[in-house]
Amino acid sequence: MNQGFELFPDAGSAYAGDVDALYAFLVAVALLFTFGICFAILFFAVRYRSGSDVPRRPLAVRHIRAIEITWSVVPLLLTMVMFGWGAALYLRQQQPPDDALEIAVIGKQWMWQLQHAEGRREHNELHVPVGRPVRLTMISEDVIHSFYVPAFRVKQDVLPGRYTTLWFQPDRPGEHHLFCAEYCGTEHSLMRGRVIVQEPGEYARWLAGATGDAPAVAGRKLFEQFRCHTCHTKGEAARGPALEGLLGRKVPLAAGGFVVADEDYVRESILNPQAKVVAGFQPIMPTFEGQIGEEGILQIIAYIQSLSAEEAAGEIQQEQPAEPGRAKP
């Protein structure tokens, strides 16, 4: 990793080149108008200076429609090109691929805590494989932070009480700077780290050194520790909705309407369960605020996601036709 100051660090992600191209276009347009306007100002200041031999300006003002249309249409077209180009790039950055590697990120004063789906934890370092899309689900434990990797041309605010996501795809091995780009306190300048991009085999060997539980496993333990399974179960005796296949589904509410069950909905249901009560159930769930931290909530979400994946796999298996002469499993 370079030690000196870099105005434009080498592009290290799949769409970093697209960001640089848009930036270069914006700078080129700005310079074109800047130098054009400066030249016009200097030219007219010299050409029509006091005492210069120029014809007197007529009192009647001439309107040249072609010029007026040009200086209105050209800036409009350039602005629409900037908008369309920027919007397309923004939408691309907001839609991670389905096979993206999932990593949970917690920002706190003044460090980054990261956990891979296989259980490996890191502090102020992020190991990722080259050529694989990576999706970060991020939240802050205290104040606003901002996850910024200049070489990848990605930056996303990390907020308290709300999940934000960010994805990138590194395209070459190496090490890159990781910064917090939002002033977050007296030691903000020390909240930095590095992203280490490895070849797939090297990354697999590094990942195999995990010693802790995977987030889904740790989430299942918390689920059982707080006796959540006694209410959230299937059957007529259930006092809470079943969680299999929950994430991404529309949930009917007792107050009317629906809500899409995403990570923020699950987090709110754990910390403030009376905010959105599911239709058909009583508001009897207690709050777990102060009992389960942000890391624990992310682990429970990972466990619920694993239930959704298991249910989807079961549905696919049931839909497969049985072989002749064999019963369907």
The tokens for 277 are 């009560």
Q: Indicate the SS3 state at residue 238.
A: coil
- The rounded distance, in Å, linking the Cα atoms of 182 and 153 is 16
Chain Cα centroid distance, residue 234: 34
Q: How far is CA 305 from CA 77, 278, 291, in A?
A: 45, 19, 22
Each residue of 107-165: pLDDT tens digit?
Answer: 999 999 999 988 899 999 999 999 999 999 999 999 999 999 999 999 999 999 999 99
The structure tokens listed for 208 are 């195999």
Question: pLDDT for 244-253, tens place per residue?
Answer: 888 888 999 9
Predicted confidence (pLDDT) at residue 86 exceeds the cutoff of 80: yes
pLDDT at 311: 54
If 0-12 CB within 10 Å is exposed, 13-18 middle and 19+ buried, where does residue 51 land?
exposed
The answer to whether the beta carbons of residues 12 and 151 sit under 8 Å apart is yes
Residue 57 confidence (pLDDT): 65
Nearest in space to 144 (alpha carbons), one of 164, 163, 158, 124: 158
The whole-number pLDDT of residue 317 equals 46
Q: For residue 256, which phi and psi values (nearest 5 degrees)?
A: 105, 150
Q: Above 60 in pLDDT, residue 60?
A: yes
Count the neighbouring beta carbons within 10 Å of the beta carbon of residue 41. Answer: 10
Strand 258-260 to strand 250-252: parallel, antiparallel, or no bridges (unpaired)? antiparallel
Eight-class DSSP state of 255: T
Section 23-46 average pLDDT:
92
221 SS3 class: helix
The mean pLDDT of 49-57, rounded to a whole number, is: 73
**Placement of tokens 């429609």 in the chain:** 65
- Residue environment code for 73-111, b if the CB has 16+ CB neighbours within 10 A, otherwise e: eeeeeeeeeeeeeeeebeeebeebeeebbbbbbbbbbbb
Please enumerate in sequence order all residues whose Cβ is within 8 A of that of 180, keeping only pairs 6 or more positions apart, or say none: 107, 110, 112, 145, 146, 147, 148, 188, 191, 192
